[in-house]
Amino acid sequence: MARAESERGKGSFTKGGKVKFYFRKEVSPIGFTHYYRRPKEIPRDDMLKIIRDFKKMVPLLSELKVYLAGGNGEGEAEINIERIWFNGPEKCGHLKNEAISIPWPTDTAGGIAGFTEDAQKGNWFAGALIDKRCCDGDCSYETFHFPRVFKIREWDKPDEKGLYFDFCKTAFRPYDLAVNVFLIIAKHYLKDNIKVSSDGKMTHWQEGMMLCQVHLGYGLEFKLKD
């Protein structure tokens, strides 16, 4: 319960009055992150289109070895009209590799590593430089949580367009590609109502853009906010 009550925990009441918590898994304060500004409430029609397209992409992502679990790294991802809540699987079966500590992608990094030894290409000041998405033996990192109705916390302040800041630190784990794909889809339907920025460069987003273009018919027009 302490974890749910922490700054980064999110919870909501179910109809029966039972508290159902949607944790945001806590991770290192530094690391490779995607950021976005979003409206307080996403119209149901838009949310339906977003989840319809994202659900189409989930099996394609798993063919690329991007597997999704629930937001805490266990169980099933939630993809429904009220929320998208996922992470990589904690018990992913990859070998433990302590060298992959606070990883950061090289400028040309992409793809998914078959095994982590394959991915390390040196170090940046805080950890490992990697040229493929990989894990340290645990494919989960920070929860990706995109509720239809954003729960405003007391420290949240909207920007001049009324958009609220949120982010997901993926550490370039394999599910990073699923976060890219989701945000490309959301951007397609929400247009100027979502602003996406990233520690990654456009090169890191190319695969997600291509995947969406091939399977959904859009994506190559995606641009990060400067």
Strand partners for 50 = none
* Sign of the four-CA dihedral 189, 195, 201, 202: positive
Total residues in contact with Zn ion, by rule CB under 5 A: 4
C-beta closer to Zn ion: residue 128 or 135: 135
| Tokens 């239809």 belong to residue | 148
CB of residue 135 vs Zn ion: minimum separation in angstroms?
3
C-beta closer to Zn ion: residue 139 or 196: 139
| Among 34, 38, 83, 94, interactor with Zn ion by CB under 5 A | 94
Q: Is position 92 an interface residue for Zn ion (rule: CB under 5 A)?
A: yes
CB of residue 26 vs Zn ion: minimum separation in angstroms?
18
Helices 44-63 and 176-190: crossing angle in degrees, nearest 10, is 150
Structure tokens at 206: 């190319």
CA dist 94 and 96 (Å) reads 6
C-beta closer to Zn ion: residue 94 or 195: 94
CA dist 173 and 31 (Å) reads 11
CA dist 112 and 89 (Å) reads 15
CA dist 85 and 74 (Å) reads 11
| Among 61, 84, 112, 139, interactor with Zn ion by CB under 5 A | 139
C-beta closer to Zn ion: residue 4 or 99: 99
Q: Is position 135 an interface residue for Zn ion (rule: CB under 5 A)?
A: yes
Give the interface segment with Zn ion, choosing from 17-25, 128-136, 157-165, 201-209 (CB under 5 A). Answer: 128-136
CA dist 147 and 11 (Å) reads 11
Q: Is position 130 an interface residue for Zn ion (rule: CB under 5 A)?
A: no
C-beta closer to Zn ion: residue 48 or 58: 58
Chain residues binding Zn ion by CB under 5 A are 92, 94, 135, 139
